[in-house]
Amino acid sequence: LDGGARALFGLNINADAKVDGSITEKEVRALFYLWNSALATGDSRIVASRYTKNPVLLPTVSDTPRTDFDSVKDYFDAFLLKAPQGKIVDGYITIGDGWASDTGIYEFTMGATGDKVKARYTYLYVKEDGFWKIQHHHSSVMPEGIDMGQPITEDEVRALFGRWNDALATLDSRKVAFRYAKKPVLLPTVSDVPRTNFNSIDDYFVNFLKLKPQGEILESNVLVGHNWAQDCGIYEFTMGATGKKVKGRYSFVYVYENGDWKISHHHSSIMPEGIVSAEPITKDEVRGLFNLWNDALATEDPLKVADRYSKRGVLLPTVSDVPRTDYPGIVDYFTNFLKLKPQGEILEGNIIVGTNWAQDAGIYEFTMGATGAKVKGRYTYVYIFEDGEWK
């Protein structure tokens, strides 16, 4: 490789260093291209051989100093997969007694991806066993490539919620969506679909903003990191369209992006006590609910029958054209119906069980104790679990 370099560059770069520092700057610069040619081979052993027996390599993309052949080779095993080729953009050479340094800025083109990467470099070359080798190599990202932390206080993090809330107040879904980062994740309270881009977030808020929501943070826990911040807790929304108040748990993760703090992650969920837990019930137990109602009929007390209906019950009676939708209306109907002393029996029924509701539909027959008459009818009961009881 060293002989090849002489042919490649026309330079005797392995000549003995004169005590008067007679190696030229051109020959020092050629040592970089000798190293670059080693990169082009794709062989990490050849690259590692360009370093001295006891080198120090401080790489751009590794926190681990490399101080021997094996560790230098290990670094280049990975780096060479990118097929890098470099050129010096700006360099400064110093020549001493048996050593030389080259310091400046270089740029790599990664053949594997086409990416171009600039970095700062320092090479210190020394003569070892008659050859110029790299004793020290320090490579670092450009200052503008260093992700400097954007300072933010806990109060300023909480104020970011206010900016989002102000966007809600505009009722413009696009303005709300602009509060999110380029690669956001929104897990909304009232949608099963994760929203991961501008258009899907805009779509969610088109509907949500119809409620005219305005939020208030009730409890907040803030954590500040390097160009990110997290605010988690409990918030409450007042829906201007209905006056309804809704509490929820929230997590906002903010990132500093293009000079502004944006929402990278937003997870909103209903409070645990707001989650409806299914009350188990079997089909036989559903059928038993008819018997409870029938037993109430047997008391001939319209209040006891009306107590079998939910707070917002709907009764469409057999012998009345008037829907009964409240307690007094149901009592009124049974005040007259119970005079017939009815007792019912289900002849045929079909049951469906859901989450805290059940349906029993079919045909029943009543025997009127006051007259002995028998009357068949079609029925549908929908039961719900309300205040700890099926109604």
Window from 9-18, 224-233, 286-295, 304-313 with minimum mean pLDDT: 9-18
| Per-residue pLDDT at 8 | 36
| Per-residue pLDDT at 63 | 84
| Per-residue pLDDT at 141 | 82
Window from 62-66, 100-104, 143-147, 340-344 with minimum mean pLDDT: 143-147
Its sign, for the CA torsion 45, 47, 48, 52, is positive
| Residues β-bridged to residue 110 | 84
pLDDT tens for each residue of 167-215: 999 999 999 999 999 999 999 988 889 999 999 999 999 999 999 999 9
- Identify the band that residue 346 occupies on the pLDDT scale cut at 50, 70 and 90: very high
Length of the chain: 391
Residue reference for tokens 């994760």: 194
Query: For residue 174, how many other CB atoms are within 10 A of its CB?
Result: 14
- Identify the band that residue 267 occupies on the pLDDT scale cut at 50, 70 and 90: very high
Read off the tokens for 47.
């690259």
| Per-residue pLDDT at 60 | 86
Residue 16: pLDDT over 60: no
Dist CA 248 CA 263 (whole Å): 18
| Per-residue pLDDT at 258 | 80
- Identify the band that residue 18 occupies on the pLDDT scale cut at 50, 70 and 90: very low
| Secondary structure class of 239 (helix, strand, coil) | strand
Residue 125: pLDDT over 60: yes
| Nearest residue to 118 (alpha-carbon basis) of 130, 129, 128, 110 | 110
Helix axes 25-41, 2-9, angle to 10 degrees: 120
* Average predicted confidence (pLDDT) for the chain: 90
For 388, how many CA atoms within 13 A lie in the half-sphere containing its CB? 0
Domains defined along the chain, listed by start: 25-145 (3.10.450.50), 154-274 (3.10.450.50), 283-390 (3.10.450.50)
pLDDT tens for each residue of 275-333: 556 788 999 999 999 999 999 999 999 999 999 999 999 999 988 889 999 999 999 99
pLDDT tens for each residue of 25-53: 999 999 999 999 999 999 999 999 999 99
| Per-residue pLDDT at 12 | 42
Q: Count Cβ neighbours within 10 Å for each residue of 26-54 and write b for 16 or more, e otherwise.
A: ebbbbbbbbbbbbbeeeebebbbbbbbee
| Nearest residue to 86 (alpha-carbon basis) of 38, 26, 142, 28 | 38
| Per-residue pLDDT at 150 | 84
| Per-residue pLDDT at 320 | 83
Read off the tokens for 194.
């994760």
Read off the tokens for 249.
């748990």
Across the range 52-66, mean pLDDT stands at 92
| Per-residue pLDDT at 17 | 38
The amino acid at 200: S
Across the range 62-78, mean pLDDT stands at 94
- Cα 32 to Cα 35, 104, 126, 135: the distances in Å are 5, 12, 13, 13
DSSP of 259-292, one letter per residue? TEEEEEEEEEEE-GGGSPPPPP--HHHHHHHHHH
Read off the tokens for 379.
């029925």
CB 55 within 8 A of CB 137: yes
Q: Count Cβ neighbours within 10 Å for each residue of 153-170 and write b for 16 or more, e otherwise.
A: eeeebbebbeebbebbee
List phi, psi (to 5°) of 282: -95, 165
| Angle, CA of 247, 257 and 260, to the nearest 5° | 70
pLDDT tens for each residue of 361-391: 999 999 999 999 999 999 999 999 888 899 9
| Per-residue pLDDT at 278 | 73
CB within 8 Å of 389: residues ≥ 6 apart: none
List phi, psi (to 5°) of 224: -110, 130
Dist CA 4 CA 62 (whole Å): 31
| Per-residue pLDDT at 10 | 36
Dist CA 371 CA 341 (whole Å): 9
Residue 2: pLDDT over 70: no
pLDDT tens for each residue of 243-263: 999 999 999 999 998 889 999
CB within 8 Å of 24: residues ≥ 6 apart: none
| Per-residue pLDDT at 257 | 86
